[in-house]
Amino acid sequence: MPLARTSQRLHAALVLVLFLLAAPPAARAAEPAPAPPVSHQAAHVALGVGAGLTVASFVLAEAGDRAYERYEGETDPDRIEDAYDDAARYDRLAVATLLVGQASLLYGLWRRFLHDPEPRSADAGIDAAARGATWSIGPRLGPDGPALALDLRF
């Protein structure tokens, strides 16, 4: 009799599997739709602008150096003042361009690798670790003593 009981169980299991496979798609458990790809266009634009402004700051600094050399070589008081004003203006522009360029580079890196976009309806059930990069900063005790560790996961 154990053989008959096993045969009945096997038959019932096969009927159940066939029933589940033949069930209409609406009756099956809905699978989550794949999350739409996240656009990194803003990050790439910020990185490009940051790189361009950083390079431009070096060009402006070089122009400021040339204006200062002109200032040092001039003997006419009016031209001395103009050369000095040019050097100071180029130096201020170089500093401002460098600061904005570096800030743009940092923003682009943050936006590309660390920014966690807001969940959309398609991926609302997915946790942050499954959507993208995560990071944390914390104390660590190593063989060389205490340290501060940055944990960045992609």
Backbone φ and ψ for 120, nearest 5 degrees, come out as -100, 170
What is d(CA 40, CA 46) in angstroms, rounded to the nearest whole number? 10
Q: State how far the Cα of 32 lies from the Cα of 16, in Å rounded to an integer.
A: 24
Phi-psi region of 145 (alpha: psi -120 to 50; beta: other; left: phi over 0): left
- Give pTM, 2 decimals: 0.55
Using CA atoms, how far residue 10 sits from 17, 27, 71, 90, 134, in Å, is: 11, 24, 97, 86, 47
pLDDT tier, 113 (very low <50, low <70, confident <90, very high otherwise): confident
Tokens of residue 143, six digits: 């063989």
User: To the nearest whole percent, how much of the chain has pLDDT over 90?
Assistant: 42
CB neighbours (10 Å) of residue 132? 15
Q: CA 54: distance to chain centroid?
A: 19
109 vs 136: CA distance, rounded Å:
16
Averaged pLDDT of the chain:
77
Which of 26, 105, 98 lies closest to 62, judged by CA?
98
Of residues 11 and 110, more confidence is placed in 110
**Which has the minimum average pLDDT: 40-54, 69-83, 118-132, 139-153?**
118-132
Close Cβ partners of 150 (under 8 Å, ≥ 6 residues apart): 135, 136, 137
3-state secondary structure at position 89: helix
Mean pLDDT of all residues in 30-47: 80
